[in-house]
Amino acid sequence: MRYLPHTPDDIDAMLRTIGAASIDALFQSIPDALRLKGPLALPPACSEPELWRALQGLAEQNATPQRWASFLGGGSYRHFIPAVVWQLVSRGEFLTPYTPYQPELSQGTLQAIFEYQSMMCELFGLDIANASTYDLSTGIVEAVFMAQRITRRSEYCVMQNVHPEIRAVTRTIVGLNPAAQATLVPYTRAGTVDLAALQCVLRPTCSACVVQYPSFFGTIEDLRPIADAVHAAGALLIVAVPDPIAMGLIEAPGTMGADIVVAEGQALGNPTSYGGPYVGIFATRTAYVRQMPGRLTGVTSDVLGRRSFVLTLTTREQHIRRERATSNLCTNQQLCALATTIYTAWLGKEGFRRLARINWEKAEYAREELTRLAGVRATFSAPTFHECVITLPCPAASLLAALQEDRIFGGIALSRWYDDLPNALLVCVTEENTREEIDRFVAAVERHIRG
Amino acid sequence: MMGQPVPQRVSPTTQPHRGVEGEAPAALPLEGATRAPPIAEKPVTKHPPEVPMTPGSTGLVLEEPLLCELSRPGRQSCSLPHANDVPTRAPEATLPAALLRQTPAALPEISEADLVRHFTRLSSWNYCKDAGFFPLGSCTMKHNPRTNEAVAALPGFAYLHPYQDSGTAQGALALIAALEEALKAISGMEAISTCPAAGSHGELTGLMVIRAYLQDRGDPRSRVLIPDSAHGTNPASAAICGYRVTQIPSGPDGLLEPSTVANAMSDDVAAIMVTNPNTLGIFERNIREICDIVHARGGLVYCDGANLNALMGIAQIGEMGVDVMHFNLHKTFTTPHGGGGPGAGPIGVRQPLAPYLPIPRVVKTAAGYGWDASAPKSIGRIKAFYGNFGMLVRAYTYIREMGAPGLRHASEYAVLNANYIRAQLTASYHLPYATPALHECVLTDKWQQPGGVKTLDIAKRLMDYGFHPPTIYFPLLVAGAMMIEPTETESKESCDQFIAAMRAIAKEAQHTPATLTEAPHHTFRRRLDEVMAARSPILTWHQLKG
Ligand SMILES: Cc1ncc(COP(=O)(O)O)c(C=O)c1O
């Protein structure tokens, strides 16, 4: 057994030192009635070659974008991941330490977190960022809790064009408090926030308003009027960003008045990995730092006066404050945040802008080509980044099933969450989709809706 | 020792093994280091044994600035197509000016060579499990197999999209279903959800399941009992779930006593959260009786399974009367800690609680595996998509490699190592609880305190000897706790090295306490000013520049 170094001699010597007759004797504190009598019912142990056969077999049963054209988005995005990112992330020095509670032995991870916090603030136009939350959906939950603490109010409102699963997760967890009533705010025909409807529901009991930017429909809109309305009501504006690459093209939410931004960092260097592990980027204003969830890394110096990094303001956290902590977060998503850090630095100032532009141009091209087809139109009129919703002359779910024969994942049928959008298809295009692939997709859509 | 009395200590009951305390070679002091005292008492021998007594440290590390300080306008490391293959267009022509970003994010501009060097140098400042003994109690820092990493990186796993048709992800779904079966077999629980992203998330999810179950029974309750030895996430998760926390004391032998539970138990208690073995490494041998007491008053039992590494193939938590538990795949099942995450915290429940598990759940039908989100009694969704799938792949790979005998041996040797270290160190350090323990041992600084040496100093000094310190000042009920969990993947030699270092440090505490209170001496950075960091926090480059 390669992971177990003990030889019979070692075991004998160690037992002698302990003064125990056998290994079994070490477990005497477990009452006999609770001791397992037989072996665990598990498949037999495998050698590494056997393991590869079994697991490769499972992996090969799954369709991947290597052989399929994929236009899937909806909160999980396929972007090119340069080799350098995971070559560095996979270094044992990053992969195998624990949380940097002992700073003298963790300066590498701590400086990397500091750089991550810094770059995320630059991207989203805010002052401070924590070291990560589990993902965007749970980060939004933390953001609503934080807004409730800051405003001392319980209710919140959420836009109907926020990802339905983010809304569901928020409902499940924030809704544990019966006072935390949620109001759903409808979207306009443009696919944007219905500002008039929002203003009606912004009562003095509202702690926060959750919007998504770009929205679940891919639409983008000016957040300033929303921020003004929310702030006038004494509430905080929470902005969910599903793909940070958009920040290379559109204005940063912090600049437009957001108080808390939670972004899904998956798109920055992490594979889609069937939905996880991802990384919640959580940023806010300095004034709110003591209400923040999660870990923060700050600058200090050692006894010789050298610049160093350390986890700070830890009295907010569960290991100190227990039931009064700002969050129960302990293990976070550090390694994914590191991938995000390296990837963001790899793109750099210019690369970030260029990549956003490439994504937008491809998505514009795809939308134009798709909506040129007879019976297909853009569902919403607002501008979009790299995702858009199109209305088909048939149920979107049946088109998707037909497209699978052509090895195309054509997008996401919105009927799953929106009864009033049975024919709506959410299509995502990134730099990974070639023009040839987009053209093949458009041709297949045409063929299926005609046939 | 500055004239302070040295506590009398019992002499060792076991003779040190040949070589353990003997000719410990000093690691080389850092070149040019200021006043770095040698780290062992005896000079380097001419013929050191093949395995040195401590790995030591030589301090071969390079300084490295921040990315923002390396940045020079015009440099880049990214490699993107020069021309888009679709027509280029100007955003200004289509998008309203108010939407366009006015000032590009001030991201660094560096070459790829500098990028690689930057993160390589940073990595060299980390102590890691790969490099050495990492006995953090409660964290189960065992070897992280590279096979797991390679398997999770297979395109058939890494590139799956959560919204692709489940008919095209049958291998992934089969893997999740098989992992659920394995976790059931190991724990004796009857249904599993792999959705939670970490242990703490699992605690919250498990408590929500309990809450939903009780509400459905028309019996909502308001309090949760939590022993004083519990991890901070237990009360923090209970609070999010809307419960008031009542802390209950452990007994004199470190065990939760049935009478304490009986006294604290009332009809408004929804659940008790126990950790078994508890955070002292002690098996809660009255667990069944405790479960009976709680059940008799209509409450449920939650088990924090963070310490499952002591029990695999030995005892099943589901057989003890526990209703809900979580697993830390990043502890027991070798998924790497990654410097703080990601992990995965699946929960297991008894059958009556299964209808309340979060959605979606993996189901098998005639058409194959699929996701079911229809469960009417479910607490709902607790995370977008399905959980930290990549971590599930790693844990499943590990379980397949080990099989039943392998997992049992893992627990046996984890317990053997902890007991061996305990036996070797109780002459040098105060053992607060003499009760037999399993996979970890908790010692304190009680004997060192009178000389002015605290647990923190001992922890920092261990770094000079080439070790990561144990978990310190936890569990909270033990003053000056040092919680040592070696895990099964450490060899006897590696345990011996740690023992030698701990003994040498105990001697230093007697004779040269300043060596400890000023430690660490050989690390990349010396002791840090943590108070200053919190007084006026500098959390970004921007704030650093002022
Ligand atoms: C006993 C115990 N319970 C719960 C947790 C929380 O687990 P996680 O960090 O995965 O959220 C830990 C982790 O340190 C622990 O040691």
Calpha distance B392→B279 (Å, rounded): 25
A409: phi then psi, degrees, rounded to nearest 5: -90, 105
In 3-state terms, what secondary structure has residue A250?
strand
Q: What is the pLDDT of residue B363?
A: 97
**Rounded to 5°, angle at Cα B28 from B26 and B32:** 140
Whether residue B134 has pLDDT greater than 50:
yes
Is there a contact between B235 and A322 if contact means CB atoms under 8 Å apart? yes
ipTM of this complex prediction, to 2 decimal places = 0.98
By the 10 Å C-beta count (0-12 exposed, 13-18 middle, 19+ buried), B113 is classed as exposed
Whether residue B18 has pLDDT greater than 70:
no
Calpha distance B207→B301 (Å, rounded): 10
Report the largest interatomic distance among the alpha carbons of chain B, rounded to a whole angstrom: 84
Ligand 1 atom 13 nearest Cα: B139
Mean pLDDT of A164-175: 98
Calpha distance A22→A27 (Å, rounded): 10
Calpha distance B403→A426 (Å, rounded): 44
DSSP H helical ranges for A242-333 = 318-321
Whether residue B131 has pLDDT greater than 90:
yes
Calpha distance B488→A6 (Å, rounded): 8
Q: Closest Cα to residue B109, out of A115, A354, A350?
A: A350
Question: What is the band of A167 on the pLDDT scale with cuts at 50, 70, 90?
Answer: very high
By the 10 Å C-beta count (0-12 exposed, 13-18 middle, 19+ buried), A196 is classed as exposed
Q: Closest Cα to residue A168, out of A179, A153, A147, A182?
A: A182
Q: What is the pLDDT of residue B30?
A: 35
By the 10 Å C-beta count (0-12 exposed, 13-18 middle, 19+ buried), B483 is classed as buried
Mean pLDDT of A130-154: 98
Q: What is the pLDDT of residue A44?
A: 97
Chain A contact for B420 (CB, 8 A cutoff): yes
Calpha distance A431→A211 (Å, rounded): 26
d(CA B293, nearest CA chain A) in Å: 17
Q: What is the pLDDT of residue B20?
A: 34
Whether residue A9 has pLDDT greater than 60:
yes
Mean pLDDT of B253-277: 98
Residue B31: C-alpha distances to residues A148, A404, B34, B499, B521 (Å): 54, 64, 9, 27, 12
Q: Tokens 């969910």 label which residue?
A: A240
d(CA A206, nearest CA chain B) in Å: 19
Q: Closest Cα to residue A187, out of A163, A154, A155?
A: A163
Q: Which domains, ranges and CATH numbers included, belong to chain A?
A: 69-80+349-450 (3.90.1150.10), 83-344 (3.40.640.10)
Whether residue B54 has pLDDT greater than 90:
no
Residues 495-534 of chain B whose Cβ lies under 8 A from any Cβ of chain A: 495, 518, 520, 523-530, 532-534
The pLDDT mean for chain A works out to: 97
Q: What is the DSSP string of B449-493?
A: GGGT--HHHHHHHHHHTT----EES-STTSTT-EEE---TTS-HH
In 3-state terms, what secondary structure has residue A234?
coil
How many residues are there in chain A? 451
- A260 neighbors A283 (Cβ within 8 angstroms): yes
Q: What is the pLDDT of residue B417?
A: 98
Pick the range with the lowest mean pLDDT from A258-262, B22-26, B63-67, B523-527: B22-26
Whether residue B198 has pLDDT greater than 80:
yes
The DSSP 8-state label assigned to residue B249 in this structure reads: -
Mean pLDDT of A247-254: 98
Mean pLDDT of B455-460: 98
Q: What is the pLDDT of residue B23?
A: 36
The pLDDT mean for chain B works out to: 91
- A312 neighbors B534 (Cβ within 8 angstroms): yes
What the block records as the tokens of B283 is 């098996």
Question: What is the band of A451 on the pLDDT scale with cuts at 50, 70, 90?
Answer: confident
Is there a contact between A62 and B171 if contact means CB atoms under 8 Å apart? yes
What pLDDT digit, counting tens, does each position of A25-51 carry? 999 999 999 999 999 999 999 999 999
CA B85 / ligand 1 centre spacing (Å): 49
Calpha distance B469→B455 (Å, rounded): 10
Residue to mutate among B528, B532, B535, B538, with most A CBs inside 10 A, is: B528
The C-alpha R_g of chain A, in whole angstroms, comes to: 25
Using omega within 30 degrees of 0 as the cis cutoff, is the peptide bond preceding A44 cis? Answer: no
Question: What is the band of B7 on the pLDDT scale with cuts at 50, 70, 90?
Answer: very low
Q: What is the pLDDT of residue B51?
A: 62
Residues 219-238 of chain B whose Cβ lies under 8 A from any Cβ of chain A: 231-233, 235-238
Q: What is the DSSP string of A162-184?
A: S-HHHHHHHHHHHTTSTT--EEE
Q: What is the pLDDT of residue B546?
A: 79
Whether residue B25 has pLDDT greater than 90:
no
A154: phi then psi, degrees, rounded to nearest 5: -110, -35
Calpha distance B390→B393 (Å, rounded): 5
Q: What is the pLDDT of residue B52?
A: 63
Percent of chain A residues past pLDDT 90, beyond the cut: 98
Is there a contact between A355 and B80 if contact means CB atoms under 8 Å apart? yes
Pick the range with the lowest mean pLDDT from A64-78, B49-63, B426-440: B49-63
Mean pLDDT of A420-440: 98
Mean pLDDT of A333-351: 98
In 3-state terms, what secondary structure has residue A69?
strand
- A272 neighbors A77 (Cβ within 8 angstroms): yes
Calpha distance B273→B192 (Å, rounded): 18
Mean pLDDT of A211-240: 98
Whether residue B19 has pLDDT greater than 80:
no
What pLDDT digit, counting tens, does each position of B230-258 carry? 999 999 999 999 999 999 999 999 999 99
Question: What is the band of B59 on the pLDDT scale with cuts at 50, 70, 90?
Answer: low
Residue to mutate among B82, B92, B107, with most A CBs inside 10 A, is: B107
Mean pLDDT of B146-158: 98
What pLDDT digit, counting tens, does each position of B319-365 carry? 999 999 999 999 999 999 999 999 999 999 999 999 999 999 999 99
Question: What is the band of B39 on the pLDDT scale with cuts at 50, 70, 90?
Answer: low
CA B279 / ligand 1 centre spacing (Å): 11
Q: Which residues contact B514 (CB under 8 A, 6 or more apart)?
A: none
What pLDDT digit, counting tens, does each position of B282-312 carry? 999 999 999 999 999 999 999 999 999 999 9
Q: What is the pLDDT of residue B61?
A: 79
pTM, two decimal places: 0.94
CA B326 / ligand 1 centre spacing (Å): 10
Q: What is the pLDDT of residue B2?
A: 37
Whether residue B57 has pLDDT greater than 90:
no
Comparing A406 with B30, the larger pLDDT belongs to A406
Q: Which domains, ranges and CATH numbers included, belong to chain B?
A: 64-75+108-124 (no CATH), 148-401 (3.40.640.10)
Question: What is the band of B12 on the pLDDT scale with cuts at 50, 70, 90?
Answer: very low
Mean pLDDT of B376-398: 98
Among the partner-chain residues B231, B339, B538, the one whose CB lies closest to the CB of A334 is B339
Mean pLDDT of A385-409: 98
Protein residues whose CB sits closer than 6 Å to any atom of ligand 1:
A 330-331; B 138-139, 198-200, 231, 233, 275, 279, 304, 306, 328, 343, 345
Percent of chain B residues past pLDDT 90, beyond the cut: 88
